[in-house]
């Protein structure tokens, strides 16, 4: 099933507007090119409405906030909503500071998001309206485990129903849920956490996959998560003894570039609950 979703991304070449953080902006652009989509970056408030208008999706990432980028997020988001474009929120570090938390909550209050993607601590902060995180990483106390999986899935589905969106939580076990179903995905490598930006890249991938498959938003979101996780596995397999995390980052992008639909369907490890 995921093969057709990936094929549509490459056939349609969706243009994705990214208001993303400057730590990972280059990797976000490259991963979109690798999957077959096309990136454009703009966070100038006087520019973003025009840019969003020509795109199929808008990816908002709050990783390096400033007052200019915050204003741009709201302006671009309102235009994306008016045009019924795909809108993704990546609440990087929500819970780490009042600015990040309050900005994410206000964005959710004023905009209609198609997908919200974060680690479990970030999503928990959004569900509760407050919280704390270990910087931009998930707090180990919030980890999704086999033991608490049913409880976490129920909470995510309730949150998805409230916000009328898809909620994706990534970590050792990835979860992609709407109000009725949840994909439980077990692709990926722990070493991916040693690279800055795999989550940022994934949010951009989700935006592209859903833009190319608007009638299958849940399945497309899950496919994007599987693509990233499987690419992490393939890239790790291709690592040499002298390679480090910089090479691993590049190999992940290369694995996405080279990924074929048959390999995705064969390698994707998931169940639906």
**Domain assignments of the chain as residue spans, ordered by start:** 2-272
- CA triple 217-219-223, angle to 5 deg: 115
Do the Cβ atoms of 264 and 230 come closer than 8 Å?
yes
pLDDT at 141: 54
User: Is the pLDDT assigned to residue 1 strictly greater than 90?
Assistant: no
Give which of 217, 211, 216, 198 is closest to 255, Cα–Cα: 198
Question: Among candidates 39, 2, 31, 28, which has minimal Cα distance to 257?
Answer: 31
CA distances from 157 to 102, 166, 260 (A): 23, 9, 31
Question: Is the CB of residue 133 less than 8 Å from the CB of residue 144?
Answer: no
Give the tens place of pLDDT for each residue, 69-85. 999 999 999 999 999 99
pLDDT in tens, 86-128: 999 999 999 999 999 999 999 999 999 999 999 999 999 999 9
Is 90 exceeded by the pLDDT of residue 66? yes
**Residues 6+ positions from 202 with CB-CB distance below 8 Å:** 117, 170, 224, 225, 228
DSSP count for the chain of H helices, then E strands: 11, 9
Provide the 3-class DSSP secondary structure of residue 183.
Answer: strand
Q: Class assignment of domain 2-272?
A: alpha beta
Total-model pTM: 0.94
pLDDT value at 140 more than 50: no
Summarize the chain as % helix, strand, coil (round to 5). Answer: 55, 15, 30
What is the tens place of the pLDDT at every residue in 202-252?
999 999 999 999 999 999 999 999 999 999 999 999 999 999 999 999 999
Structure confidence at residue 129 (pLDDT): 85
């Amino acid at each position: 099933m995921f093969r057709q979703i990936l094929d549509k991304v490459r056939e349609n070449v969706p243009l994705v507007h990214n208001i993303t953080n400057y730590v990972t902006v280059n990797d976000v652009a490259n991963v979109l090119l690798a999957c077959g989509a096309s990136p454009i970056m703009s966070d100038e408030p006087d520019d973003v409405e025009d840019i969003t208008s020509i795109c199929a999706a808008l990816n908002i990432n709050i990783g390096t906030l400033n007052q200019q980028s915050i204003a741009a997020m709201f302006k671009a988001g309102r235009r994306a909503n008016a045009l019924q474009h795909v809108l993704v929120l990546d609440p990087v570090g929500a819970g780490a500071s009042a600015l990040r938390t309050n900005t994410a909550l206000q964005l959710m209050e004023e905009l209609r998001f198609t997908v919200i993607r974060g680690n479990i601590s970030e999503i928990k902060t959004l569900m509760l309206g407050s919280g704390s995180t270990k910087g931009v990483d998930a707090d180990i106390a919030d980890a999704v485990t086999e033991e608490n999986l049913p409880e976490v899935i129920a909470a995510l589905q309730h949150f998805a129903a409230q916000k009328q969106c898809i909620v994706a939580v990534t970590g050792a076990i990835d979860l992609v849920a709407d109000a009725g179903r949840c994909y439980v995905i077990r692709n990926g490598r722990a070493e991916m956490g040693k690279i800055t930006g795999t989550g940022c890249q994934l949010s951009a991938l989700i935006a592209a996959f859903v833009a190319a498959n608007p009638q299958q938003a849940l399945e497309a979101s899950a496919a994007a998560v599987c693509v990233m996780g499987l690419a992490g596995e393939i890239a790790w397999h291709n690592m040499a003894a002298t390679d480090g995390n910089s090479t691993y980052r590049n190999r992940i992008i290369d694995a996405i570039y080279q990924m074929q639909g048959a390999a995705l369907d064969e390698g994707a490890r998931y169940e639906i609950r």
